[in-house]
Amino acid sequence: MRPYGYQWDWVSPAIKRDTWSGRWIFPNVRNHEHSVKHAEATASDADLVIMYIHGGGFALGTCTSYMDSFIYILERLQETHGLDARMFTINYRLIPEYPWPHGQDDCVKAYRYLLDLGVKPSRIIMAGDSAGANLVSTSTLAIRDQKLPLPHGHVLISPWVTLEADSPTFTTNAATDCIARDLVAIKGPEAYLPQLKLLDDKARQRLLQNPRISPLYANLKGICPTLVSYGGLEIFQHDIEAFVRRLKENHVDVEVLTRPDVPHIWVIEALMSPSYSIWEEDCGRIVDWCANRVK
């Protein structure tokens, strides 16, 4: 979804790099004559920078997909917590033209961009939904392995933690979720990993369980504090609960936000929530968690 009307005042022109692009989002950024230069020059002064990676099955979506939520998040951080916060949202390369690991590599490059601007890792929280939350996790593993300083926290909204599709809730919640089972069970993985079509069953399983692809199977020790949200009606429920257990087993500071009667990504897309008040309450809980990380 494109921004509309007043929302454009919150969105900088695109920052374009060789393989990825991004936009800064904060109040009145467009009012500056050289808004990108202003955003970059003052980024290190912000109390908090949320680097957001959008979902969409690795195939769809843009960095401005959730402007209503982004504006609510930034306003609440200022009004409730007194924080000068900004969001940096990115467009990474998408399937089928660019299979794994292109999108993941772009996310690491975008994080390096923030570090190069002088933004302290202690003021960066990486957040994402669905496939974007997968990229938050796998990119952070790459950041850790490259010996870069980790962000100060993760927000994983309905994360796609394994590209396998054999957990019980892929069946039991197929009729209650808002995403198509076949898309994430067959079409998505085969576009993200084209080599799957050429492999036998054992080789397919090994690839799908590669921790750089499915963070459910990763060594999670030393990963930054994490907030995980998921709904009791979504097909990823079982896998996400297993991922939360893995985080706890690896002594990661983890907090869970869940409801039994909500589907995929309700907390970032109000149209998926049972009511506006539920979306506002739960999105607010994410805001409060982020604020507490940097206070």
Q: What are the domain boundaries of the chain?
A: 5-294
Edge-to-edge strand order for the sheet containing 21-25? Answer: 15-16, 21-25, 85-91, 48-53, 124-129, 153-157, 226-231, 254-259
Amino acid at 256: V
Q: For residues 63 and 21, what is the distance between their CA atoms, to the nearest angstrom?
A: 9
Give percent above pLDDT 70 in the chain: 100
Q: pLDDT value at position 186?
A: 77
Give percent above pLDDT 90 in the chain: 94
pTM score, whole prediction: 0.97
The pair of three-digit structure tokens given for residue 6, joined into one six-digit string: 């007043």
Using the predicted structure, report yes or no on whether residue 120 has a pLDDT greater than 90. Answer: yes
Residues 6+ apart with CB under 8 A from 102: 19, 92, 93
pLDDT tens digits along 168-218:
999 999 999 999 887 787 789 999 999 999 999 999 999 999 999 999 999
**98: pLDDT confidence band, cut at 50, 70 and 90?**
very high
Q: pLDDT value at position 1?
A: 73
Q: pLDDT value at position 185?
A: 77
Q: What secondary structure does DSSP assign to 47-72, as a single string?
A: SEEEEEE--STTTS--TTTTHHHHHH
Q: How far is CA 156 from the centre of its chain?
A: 6
Q: pLDDT value at position 184?
A: 85
Strand partners, 22: 15, 90
Query: CATH assignment of 5-294, given 3.30.230.10, 3.40.50.1820, 3.30.390.50, 1.10.3720.10?
Result: 3.40.50.1820
Using the predicted structure, report yes or no on whether residue 45 has a pLDDT greater than 80. Answer: yes
Angle formed by the axes of helices 67-81 and 276-294, nearest 10°: 50
